[in-house]
């Protein structure tokens, strides 16, 4: 039986967020012989060499900026030519930006197209254009994303593929006592440590956690917050806004800005509670990572986390922007250690449903399903 070749179009060459992490996981764990991958990167970066090191046929066709329409057309034609030369069965766009190239290239090459909507679709011109281009189907990463995508015209068939987390990254961190991790990272040895991990963006909700901290400290004076994550280029003012908020609330000694950290598992292991306060997170891989460490988690009550967490069983939920509810959920853990322990155990068990290997296999199943339609 011939193995189908699928040409993946990836618009980024370095990992900036969850979408690129998922791409790397697919290349690492999705080589079971059922699909032959060919990758086209339209921007250079470390992931290009990573793909080649895995033995995957990899091409770099720089696309330039979105407004460089002439260059984009050259790239589209090059992708179509490669698809014809390599007799691919499908061209697959990774993320909405790549579908604006993968879709036209598939039409030129006369092969089916599909793409992965790794964000929360919005009724803007980019999502509308990507949806307008012919596609055999769209992969989505949560039911919430599926509902938002379905509101865009025309409707395209969808397949749900939940992302996964590279759980093996957390094996070593899990064996280190939290106190030892705190000491190694220079964090305070005493008092509850509440952490949040992510790029410093308003929609990630770091400001909501800071707003909740005074009420938490009123009952647990030793409670502190550590924020792990670097600045986000489109929102350069947000870190300064957070620091001003900390000063205004008199929390200078209670909040640590750790900045970008490469050893995220160790930082998370040092935390007693992990908060994910985003506004309608499409999925939230960091939630799975926190759960894999067996940490009590408070996550957003909308989007992907609400599809992963069963409140009171493997975590708690709080609406975005509601500091009072976030305070209440944090205090539930701090006032009731037995609840925190039960949710931590439940979280560790639930995280096993979202391994990177399982994700890659589900992705391949979905692609083969679209090919066989």
Q: Rounded CA gap, 298 and 290, in Å?
A: 10
Residue 67's pLDDT band (cuts 50, 70, 90): confident
Are the beta carbons of 311 and 127 closer than 8 angstroms? Answer: no
CATH 3.40.50.2000 domain span(s) along the chain: 5-164+355-371, 167-354
Over the stretch 240-269, which tens digit does the pLDDT of each residue have? 999 999 999 999 999 999 999 989 999 999
Provide the b/e sequence for 83-110 (b: ≥16 CB within 10 Å): beeeebbbbbbbbbbbbbbbbbbbebbe
Backbone angles phi, psi at 156, to 5 degrees: -115, 145
Over the stretch 124-155, which tens digit does the pLDDT of each residue have? 899 999 999 999 999 999 999 999 999 999 99
CATH tag, 5-164+355-371: 3.40.50.2000
Tokens standing for 368? 């083969």
Over the stretch 180-239, which tens digit does the pLDDT of each residue have? 999 999 999 999 999 999 999 999 999 999 999 999 999 999 999 999 999 988 999 999
Q: Rounded CA gap, 111 and 180, in Å?
A: 55
The percent of residues above 70 in pLDDT, for the chain, comes to: 100
Region 297-309 average pLDDT: 95
Whole-number average pLDDT of the chain: 95
Q: What is the pLDDT of residue 9?
A: 98
CATH tag, 167-354: 3.40.50.2000
- The answer, yes or no, to whether residue 82 has pLDDT greater than 80, is yes
Please give the span between the terminal C-alpha atoms of the chain, in angstroms, as a whole number: 18
| Helix (H) and strand (E) counts in the chain | 16, 13
Contacts of 159 by beta carbon, 8 Å cutoff, 6+ apart: 137, 138, 139, 140, 366, 369, 370
Over the stretch 12-31, which tens digit does the pLDDT of each residue have? 999 888 899 999 999 999 99
Q: Rounded CA gap, 175 and 352, in Å?
A: 17
Q: What is the pLDDT of residue 1?
A: 57
167 vs 315 pLDDT, higher one = 315
Region 41-60 average pLDDT: 98
Region 290-305 average pLDDT: 96
E-assigned strand segments in 184-306: 193-197, 224-228, 255-259, 273-276, 297-300
Q: Rounded CA gap, 63 and 73, in Å?
A: 9
The DSSP secondary-structure symbol of 280 reads S
């Amino acid at each position: 039986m011939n193995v189908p070749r699928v040409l993946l179009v990836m618009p980024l060459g370095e990992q900036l967020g969850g979408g690129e992490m998922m791409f790397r996981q697919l290349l690492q764990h999705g080589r079971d012989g059922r699909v032959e991958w060919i990758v086209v990167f339209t921007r250079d970066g470390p992931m290009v060499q990573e793909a080649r090191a895995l033995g995957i046929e990899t091409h770099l066709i720089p696309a330039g900026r979105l407004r460089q329409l002439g260059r984009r057309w050259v790239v589209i034609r090059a992708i179509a030519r490669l698809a014809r030369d390599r007799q691919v069965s499908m061209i697959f766009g990774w993320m909405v930006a790549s579908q604006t190239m993968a879709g036209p290239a598939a039409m030129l090459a006369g092969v089916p197209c599909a793409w992965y909507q790794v964000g929360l679709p919005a009724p803007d011109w980019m999502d509308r254009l990507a949806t307008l281009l012919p596609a055999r189907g769209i992969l989505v990463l949560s039911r919430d994303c599926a509902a938002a995508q379905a509101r865009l015209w025309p409707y395209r068939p969808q397949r749900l593929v939940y992302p996964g987390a590279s759980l093996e990254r957390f094996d070593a961190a899990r064996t280190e006592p939290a106190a030892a991790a705190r000491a190694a990272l220079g964090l305070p040895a005493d008092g509850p440590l509440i952490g949040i991990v992510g790029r410093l963006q308003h929609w990630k909700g770091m400001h909501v956690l800071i707003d909740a901290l005074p009420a938490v400290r009123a009952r647990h004076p030793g409670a502190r917050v550590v924020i792990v994550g670097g600045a986000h280029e489109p929102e350069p003012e947000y870190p300064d806004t957070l620091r001003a908020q900390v000063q205004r609330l008199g929390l200078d000694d209670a909040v640590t800005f750790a900045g970008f950290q490469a050893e995220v598992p160790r930082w998370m292991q040092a935390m007693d509670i992990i908060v994910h306060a985003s506004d309608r997170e499409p999925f939230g891989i960091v939630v799975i990572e926190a759960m894999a460490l067996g940490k009590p988690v408070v996550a957003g009550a909308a989007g992907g986390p609400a599809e992963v967490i069963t409140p009171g069983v493997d975590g708690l939920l709080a609406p975005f922007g509601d500091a009072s509810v976030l305070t209440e959920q944090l205090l539930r853990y701090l006032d009731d250690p037995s609840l925190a322990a039960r949710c931590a155990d439940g979280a560790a068990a639930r995280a096993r449903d979202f391994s990177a290997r399982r994700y890659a296999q589900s992705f391949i199943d979905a692609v083969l399903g679209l090919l066989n339609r």
